[in-house]
Amino acid sequence: MTKKSINRILIVIVTLIWGILLYQILGKRHFDVQQFTPHIESQDSQEFLIIKDTFELVKLSRDPFLGLVYERKKNKQSNTVVKKKKVNTNTVTIKIPRLQYLGYVKGEKYSNPLILIRIDNKLYKKRLNSKVKDVYLKEASKDSLVIIFNGTLIKLPKI
């Protein structure tokens, strides 16, 4: 017998073995499909009663394991009066625009990075140490931006 005929015989035997295995595996998984009609009973006519088992917990006067007796401490109420501090109502509220720091880009030609900042949903590309809508861009790093708004120092995290 030549190698060619032996290879053909082996290929036929291997395909028969795989065919038998697949038939056994897939043949066992084949189920008869039956019509299934769910039977739902009307719940209007039935009343459901929920009975809860309740009991009252009682504090133990002694430790059951160590045998120690607990002494109950009485809360002492002091007659001291706490004075409330008066809040200064003359505070000035500053309306800060909605700010989002998106990052920065460093170029080869410029020493200052180009900062991407969104102010009131409008995107601005400005250099460091410049001013946009009363917002002075002071410092920029990978994760945060330091700005000055009306003399107030604010640190914005990167989104």
pLDDT tens-place string over residues 126-138: 888 888 888 888 8
**pLDDT category, 30, cuts 50, 70, 90?**
low
User: What region does 120 belong to: left with phi over 0, alpha with psi -120 to 50, or beta?
Assistant: left
pLDDT at residue 34 in the model: 59
- Between 77 and 136, the higher pLDDT residue: 136
Question: What is the structure's pLDDT at 64?
Answer: 80
Predicted local distance difference test score (pLDDT) of residue 58:
81
Average pLDDT over residues 99-121: 86
pLDDT of 43 > 70? The answer is no
- Cα 100 from Cα 123, distance rounded (Å): 9
pLDDT at 5 over 60: yes
CATH class of the domain at 99-157? mainly beta
Kindly state the helix (H) or strand (E) to which residue 17 belongs, with its residue range.
helix 3-28
Angle, CA of 61, 63 and 66, to the nearest 5°: 145
Highest-confidence range of 15-29, 36-50, 61-75, by mean pLDDT?
Answer: 15-29
Residue 105 has pLDDT above 90, yes or no: no
Burial class (CB in 10 A: 0-12, 13-18, 19+), 117: buried
Among 91-100, 117-126, 146-155, the least confident range? 91-100
Say what the pTM is.
0.41
Tell me what the pLDDT averaged over the chain comes to.
80
